Structure 1
Amino acid sequence: MPEHPTLHVLMILESQYPSPAGGGAEAQVRTLARGLRARGHRVTVLTPLGKLEHRRPIDRVDGVPVCRLRYPHVPLLGSFVLWLRLAGFLWSRRTNYDAWHVHIAHYMGGVASALGGWLRQPVILKVSGWWELEKGVLSDGASLSQRIAFRCMRRASAWQAISSRIATALANKGVPLQAIVAIPNAVDTTRFQRRHSAVTPVGRRFLFVGRLVPEKGLDTLLRAFATASSADPLATLQLVGSGALAEPLAILARSLGIEGRIEFSGHRDDVAGALHAADVGVLPSRIEGLSNTLLECMSSGMPVVATRISGNEDFVRPGDNGWLCEPGDQQGLAACLASAMLLPVAEFGAMGDRARRCVEQKAGLDVVLDQLLGLYRQVPVVAVATVPVHGEGG
């Protein structure tokens, strides 16, 4: 059979790129762009030019062209100008791209979906996380402008749901089941290595990577770690990331008497190095879409202690490749941490191997790219056909 022709994909992102704070949607765009280019495809990234962003309107990141739209940073007026400039960009280059992949389901996604539907252009609309569903265009309390944007989004050719909960939420919002495709975030597993020899009977190293913000549940994590610490008095916890809660969490650690066992590392560019040195990943978030950190920890061959929320429950199988507890459940989290501290080394290694295999099979970069390329080419991809809607299932 002849090989498929190469494609030129436009990635539309309603945030800074690359993100100085290391946002999940931005990281995914970068991972996918690298993967597509490695396969010989072309990628262009389109994003707004931020108010305090001292970057060129036309740039390159990892060899990928990045186009940043200028607009006045004035309430209301600025948004309308941005939308008009986006529409103008897409119209003037309507024959340049084989597909438009929108990575945050917000107003720019509405503009792209409306125009793409009219031009019969493949538009893949990705719901990246909880914000779109709880605060944004897809929320129950959406404003009039957000409801209009959602109606425009209904013209997208496909909705990428990165977790089973998001797929269910989209179905409950009235998105046709045949348009919802379950494709998780991607992880390049070649970046991460498994170290069996690093696992020791005592003194296991727990690792959290992410922003130090309330929705990550880090106050519950510190209290649970203090409770579980008797199971392994030498266990340590490293927090990689920055945020508003850095100082309050340091104060909390001192008040719990565990400050000597908690390492606040701040933001790090070499996350792979931190993963390589750890034994157990921890993700105590109260809400997520699908955490890149979860996938990276499991890709590193680490079992993960996580909360039972969107994304986590699709990958973490309790007793098989990690542990799950309810969000905000301090005692439940402490029990999971203690189990990870006490697990025999041989079982620990086998659990980590299963974690890596799970991610390779479901979210490995090549697996995800194969599915996305089918959407870009408008080839039918297995859709979410059994998503429970109102009154059906749990």
Structure 2
Amino acid sequence: MKILHLANDVRESGNGIINVLVDLACNQAKRGHEVVVASGGGEYVGLLERHGVRHIALQQRPLPKVMLPVMAMKFMGILFKERPDIVHAHMVTGVFLGKMGKAVKDYTLVSTVHNEFNRSARYMGMADRVVGVSRAVSDSMLRRRVRPGRVATIHNGTLGTPRFRENADKATTIAMFRPSVATVAGLFHRKGIDVLIRAFAASRAIEVGAHLYVIGEGRDRAAFETIVRELKLHERVHFLGFKENVMAHLKQTDVFVLASRREPFGLAVLEAREAGCAVIASDVDGIPEALGGGTSGILVPPGDVQALAAQLSRLLGSPQALAEARRKARKGIERFSAGKMADDYLELYEAARR
């Protein structure tokens, strides 16, 4: 089967959409399929090519209207040369291109909906098959009146990702103080970093000597740093920025927290589980599915500072509770492998082509 993936770029920036695409493309090529990624480029081009995935430069970011015909014509040229069986769009621009291309070439257009809470997500429903990364996302697309027969749920998988193997030897740049609490997230209001900082301050974390590590970048970082200064936590809260070797940091983490207000699935939850962290996360959208409904981690209401603080206090104040939470986090993680995710998509492709 020949598969063409479309995305705005393949930059190594912590973007979960790109991480899923890279893992999927590499594992599909490993299974003997001819896989091509068309994007604006980025640091992952080399990794893709080392795993047998060809990359073609195709600018897909929003452009002035006068440039749209140029982008469309270049895409048509790719279609005539590559003749894919499947065009898999991971972002809205790719869906528009894929839909236009079907006027001149016969293939199955698949979209993966990662951020269904964005208004533009409704356009992802134009594909022949629409994949939600959680049941919560799929249900949202059904509410947008996408026909049920066109919607499927395929959970993301990170276990065995080629991205971590590639970065395994890169320096962590820091030895983390223990006990440690960490989050890996874009520094945006949606991710609830403010909730986590306030809960850390309200918990027993200071009493037991814990430190909080915020791993990631984003436009709201200054606002979160202001909260840290107001709470006089600058010696206990550390903003590390984006890290390539995030697994090395997670392996030094005792409690991982994802305090998102909205979250389609939460790749970082799976990464934390693989690293053996105890996990506390918001009971919202697709997060419960990444935690086995709560059997592999602790779920708290989104935005609830006191509930999060209470769970942090319980784990940081009891070695036995922390050890049990870490054990539970690892249980069942094998079902979220990057290989299984690739197999699930290949099965969907085959069914869609019949």
Do both share a fold (TM > 0.5)?
A: yes
Secondary structure at 2:332 match in 1 = helix
Residues matched between the structures, number: 340
Counterpart of 2:282, as a letter, is: T
Q: CA–CA distance in 1 between the matches of 2:43 and 2:205?
A: 50
Alignment equivalent of 1:134, drawn from 118, 143, 157: 118
The two structures, once aligned, show a CA RMSD in angstroms of 3.2
State which of 318, 341, 345 in structure 2 corresponds to 1:372.
345
Contact 2:205 2:211 survives alignment (8 Å):
no
Task: Report how far residue 20 of structure 1 moved.
Answer: 4.4
Q: Which amino acid aligns with 1:368?
A: M
Q: Which residues in structure 2 correspond to 1:4-153 (within 5 Å)?
A: 7-13=1-7, 15-17=8-10, 19-48=11-40, 60=49, 63-69=52-58, 75-90=64-79, 92-93=80-81, 95=83, 97-104=84-91, 106-113=92-99, 115-116=101-102, 119-130=105-116, 133-138=117-122, 153=125
CA distance, structure 1, for counterparts of residue 142 and residue 75 of structure 2: 28
Partner of 2:331: 357
**Shift of residue 158, structure 1, vs aligned partner:** 1.6
Structure 2 SS opposite 1:289: coil
Residue among 142, 149, 154 paired with 1:178:
149
Partner of 2:173: none
1:21 and 1:312 map into 2 onto residues whose CA distance is 21
TM-score by length of 1: 0.76
Matching residue of 1:144 = none
Secondary structure in 1 matching 2:74: helix
Contact 1:205/1:238 (CA < 8 Å) preserved in 2? Answer: yes
The answer on 1:313 being equivalent to 2:305 is no
Q: Using the alignment, how far apart are the partners of 1:285 and 1:27 within structure 2?
A: 19
Answer yes or no: is the 8 Å Cα contact 1:161–1:183 preserved in 2. Answer: yes
Please give the alpha-carbon distance, in whole angstroms, between the structure 1 residues aligned to 2:88 and 2:256: 31
Deviation at 1:280, TM superposition (A): 1.5
Give the corresponding residue for 1:142.
none
One-letter code aligned to 2:214? L
How far is the alpha carbon of 1:62 from its aligned partner? Answer: 5.0
Matched letter for residue 69 of structure 1:
L
Amino acid at match of 2:9: Q
Q: Structure 1 residues 44, 297: CA separation in 2 closer, same or farther (over 3 Å shift)?
A: same
TM-superposed CA distance for 1:380, in Å, is 9.3
1:341 to 1:107, Cα distance in 2 relative to 1, 3 A: same
- Give the unaligned 5+ runs of structure 1: 1-6, 139-148, 194-201, 382-394
What corresponds to 1:164 in structure 2? Answer: 135
1:41-99 deviations in Å (ceiling 9; x for gaps): 332101246xxx8999xx94655221112589852222343234323422x1363x232
Q: Within 2, Cα distance between the matches of 1:164 and 1:42?
A: 29
Deviation at 1:333, TM superposition (A): 1.8
- What secondary structure sits across from 1:265 in the alignment? strand
SS at match of 1:259: coil
Q: CA deviation at 1:182?
A: 0.9
Partner Cα distance (1:29, 1:353) in 2:
30
Q: Which runs of 5+ in 2 are unaligned?
A: 169-176
Q: C-alpha displacement at 1:10, in angstroms?
A: 1.1
Determine if contact 2:205/2:312 at 8 Å carries over to the other structure.
no
Partner AA of 1:255 in structure 2: E
Asked if structure 2 preserves the Cα contact closer than 8 Å seen for 1:189 and 1:364, the reply is yes
Identity of aligned residues (%): 24
SS of the residue corresponding to residue 324 of structure 1 reads strand
* Contact 2:110-2:131 at 8 Å conserved across structures: yes
1:165 Cα deviation after fit:
1.4
Find the residue that maps to 1:109 and give its secondary structure: helix
Per the alignment, do residues 270 and 54 of structure 1 end up closer, same or farther by CA in structure 2, a change over 3 Å counting?
closer
Aligned to 1:199: none
The AA in structure 2 aligned to 1:77 is V
State how far apart, in whole Å, the 2-side matches of 1:29 and 1:231 are: 40
Following the alignment from structure 1 to structure 2, what is the Cα–Cα distance between the partners of residues 342 and 319? 21
Letter in 2 for 1:369: A
1:123 aligned partner, one-letter code? L
SS of equivalent residue, structure 1 residue 304: strand
| Aligned AA (1:360) | E
